[in-house]
Structure formats: structure tokens, C-alpha cells
């Protein structure tokens, strides 16, 4: 089975495909990093859930979480905007990029960004979102399963992800991925809500030699309530 594709291209008449995708999409508006972002998606999680078939469930359950802008990605987008001086010119990886907001914010701040997700549809919307928001140097969108990465070893100065530790089984492959792709002295930013399912992941990372510190913590308003999001900064010490 092929687990990655180097870059997801819209193919064919890109302008026409882009226009059709945008015309049929819902638009979410987000203010981040001094800019209003129009983030397009096909519908909400409930709508996509209704379209799921039996093959989408089972041990490798693929719930279309990519279709939402999670509170973690809103704080990560803000954080990346604040880190402009640190990421400008850096080669960066956005793991589980979903609709592409955080990747687009970082690219606008001057980072060279690869946005990775294993859902091809997500990357089509991420690509369209970069175009709609006039991101000058758009991220490279890569369809890849983080359990079987095909990325250059030590190729990234900064690696980040928003809300990617939501299942226990993700901790081990993500730990491997970080170790594999991060350049010496590189750093990781993980924006995560506080959940018991992910708390063990920080212990696993510490045991593997990562030094982890809390870099930011904020209650992010979302649909009538607020979710506390932490941004963890991690560096490999051995």
C-alpha cells in the first residue's frame, strides 16, 4: 500500500477546480496573526460523518476530524504569528495540517512550510485556503501517513502540530517521526487541549530524551464555551 504522495496537486485546470471547490464550500472566518483568514471546508464534521462508510471504521478508524478548525489550531496560529522572527526562513513541518490554517500563517510569516496530512481531501482544501488567502509562498502539501513517513532525515528546523495526540496509539509513531525529521537543535511545538488520552504521550517523549516545557496556555473561546489549550515546546537532549 502506498502511504504518501510527494505533493497533492489540484491537477488539470487548476483555476476552474479551485473556483468550483470554493463555490460549493462553507467559509469560516478567523482572525489570527494580524489578519482575517477565510478558511473553506466542504461542511462540518457531522455532515461528513453521515457520509462515512463501513470501511472508514474498524481498527484504523478515519473520522474526518480534518474538516474542523480545532481550538488548538487557533492558538497555534496565534503562536506562530508571534514567532515570526524565529520561523522566518526556517524549514518547518505542520503535522496533521487539516484545513491548513497554521501552515498558511507560518508561510505568511516567512517560513518554508510542508503541510502533512493523510487525507487527500483535507489537502485540497488546504491548498485552496492558501490560494484564497493569498499566501505568497504557499506551503507544499504532502499526503502522508505519519506512521510511514518518507521525509528527509533531520530536514526540519521546526515541527508543529495542533490536536494530533487524540488517540493513545498516535504517541509512538509521532515520537518516531519527530526524532527522524527534526534537525539537530530543532524544536517542536505541540498545541493540545488537556485530555487524559494524551497525557501519557508527554511521559513517553520525556523518557525518550525530550525536554518539554509549557510555552503558552490559553482558554480559547469556541461555540459558546472555552477550551484550555497548552502549547508544549520540546527539544531532544540526547
Ligand X SMILES: C[S@@+](CC[C@H](N)C(=O)[O-])C[C@H]1O[C@@H](n2cnc3c(N)ncnc32)[C@H](O)[C@@H]1O
Q: What are phi and psi of 194, to 5 degrees?
A: -80, 110
What CA–CA distance (Å, rounded) separates 209 from 192? 20
Q: Is 66 in the site for ligand X (CB under 6 A)?
A: yes
Q: What are phi and psi of 145, to 5 degrees?
A: -90, 125
Q: Is 122 in the site for ligand X (CB under 6 A)?
A: yes
Q: Is 72 in the site for ligand X (CB under 6 A)?
A: yes
Query: Where in the chain does DSSP place strands (E)?
Result: 4-5, 26-32, 35-41, 91-95, 112-117, 140-144, 156-162, 182-193, 210-222, 225-236
CA distances to 30, 59, 115, 117, 172 from 88, in Å:
22, 40, 16, 23, 30
Q: Which is nearer to ligand X, 109 or 162 (CB)?
A: 162
Read off the DSSP letter of residue 34: T
Q: Which residues have a Cβ under 8 Å from the Cβ of 33 and sit 6 or more positions away?
A: 77, 78, 80, 81, 82, 84, 105, 108, 109
Query: Taking contact as CB under 6 A, which single stretch among the options 30-38, 125-133, 157-165, 208-216 is the one that binds ligand X?
Result: 157-165
Residue of the chain from 145, 180, 218, 233 that contacts ligand X (CB under 6 A): 145
Residue of the chain from 22, 28, 65, 155 that contacts ligand X (CB under 6 A): 65
Q: Which is nearer to ligand X, 69 or 104 (CB)?
A: 69
Q: Is 4 in the site for ligand X (CB under 6 A)?
A: no
Minimum gap (Å) between residue 107 Cβ and ligand X: 15
Minimum gap (Å) between residue 117 Cβ and ligand X: 5
Q: At 18, list the grid cell.
A: 479551485
Query: Taking contact as CB under 6 A, which single stretch among the options 128-136, 163-171, 200-208, 212-220 is the one that binds ligand X?
Result: 163-171
Query: Taking contact as CB under 6 A, which single stretch among the options 49-57, 67-75, 127-135, 221-229 is the one that binds ligand X?
Result: 67-75
Fill in the per-residue mask, 75 to 104: x = in contact with ligand X (CB under 6 A), - = not in contact: ---------------------xxx------
Q: Is 147 in the site for ligand X (CB under 6 A)?
A: yes
Q: Is 192 in the site for ligand X (CB under 6 A)?
A: no
What CA–CA distance (Å, rounded) separates 74 from 181? 25
Read off the DSSP letter of residue 56: G
Amino acid at each position: 500500500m502506498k502511504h504518501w504522495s510527494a505533493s497533492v496537486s489540484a491537477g488539470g485546470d487548476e483555476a476552474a477546480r479551485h473556483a468550483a471547490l470554493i463555490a460549493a464550500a462553507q467559509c469560516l472566518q478567523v482572525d489570527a496573526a494580524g489578519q482575517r483568514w477565510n478558511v473553506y471546508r466542504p461542511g462540518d464534521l457531522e455532515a461528513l460523518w453521515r457520509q462515512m462508510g463501513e470501511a472508514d471504521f474498524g481498527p484504523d478508524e478515519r473520522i474526518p476530524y480534518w474538516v474542523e478548525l480545532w481550538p488548538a489550531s487557533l492558538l497555534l496560529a496565534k503562536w506562530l504569528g508571534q514567532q515570526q522572527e524565529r520561523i522566518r526562513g526556517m524549514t518547518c513541518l505542520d503535522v496533521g495540517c487539516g484545513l491548513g490554517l497554521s501552515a498558511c500563517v507560518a508561510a505568511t510569516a516567512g517560513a518554508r512550510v510542508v503541510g502533512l496530512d493523510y487525507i487527500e481531501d483535507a489537502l485540497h482544501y488546504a491548498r485552496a485556503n492558501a490560494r484564497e488567502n493569498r499566501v505568497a509562498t504557499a506551503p507544499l502539501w504532502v499526503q502522508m501517513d505519519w506512521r510511514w513517513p518518507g521525509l528527509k532525515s533531520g530536514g526540519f528546523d521546526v515541527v508543529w502540530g495542533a490536536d494530533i495526540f487524540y488517540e493513545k496509539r498516535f504517541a509512538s509513531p509521532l515520537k518516531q517521526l519527530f526524532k527522524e525529521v527534526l534537525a539537530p537543535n530543532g524544536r517542536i511545538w505541540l498545541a493540545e487541549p488537556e485530555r487524559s488520552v494524551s497525557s501519557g504521550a508527554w511521559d513517553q517523549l520525556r523518557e525518550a530524551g525530550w525536554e518539554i516545557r509549557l510555552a503558552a496556555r490559553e482558554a480559547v473561546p469556541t461555540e459558546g464555551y472555552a477550551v484550555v489549550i497548552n502549547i508544549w515546546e520540546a527539544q531532544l537532549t540526547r
